[in-house]
Amino acid sequence: DVSVADFDALLIPGGFSPDQLRVDERFVDFVKGFLLSNKNVFAICHGPQLFIQSGLASALKLTAFTSVRPDLYYAGAQVLDEPVVVDEKHKLITSRTPDDLDDFNREITAALA
């Protein structure tokens, strides 16, 4: 019962939950709405898996956990193996693992400033 309009940004954490959430159209539509809304989206680790089902992956520049990057690549995304990737066009900030949190948090803080 929530709307993208109710929020200023979306943070998608990692772990295995995003893989389970991407089979539920409600969550996929919510994420897609954010990607299309010109609002900040932040995702780390396995979080970017949700972008595959959105149908928008081919427009995105991002990174993710090692095992997720090939899936995103085959979905058409521009995938980089860097600690943090900022896709300014889509207001998307992604990161690979908790080891990259300092860089990820720095970019999130800058985006929200």
Q: 76-113: per-residue pLDDT in tens?
A: 999 999 999 999 999 999 999 999 999 999 999 999 99
Total domain count, the chain: 1
Instruction: Check the CA dihedral 66-70-81-47 and report its sign.
Output: negative
User: Has 46 been annotated as catalytic?
Assistant: yes
Instruction: DSSP letter for 14, please.
Output: -
Identified catalytic residue from 22, 32, 46, 96: 46
User: Has 93 been annotated as catalytic?
Assistant: no
Per-residue pLDDT of 2-38, as tens digits, reads: 899 999 999 999 998 988 999 999 999 999 999 999 8
Assign residue 74 the CATH number of its domain: 3.40.50.880
Instruction: Give the global pTM.
Output: 0.95
Domain containing 107: what range?
4-112
Instruction: Check the CA dihedral 38-41-47-48 and report its sign.
Output: positive
Identified catalytic residue from 12, 45, 56, 68: 45
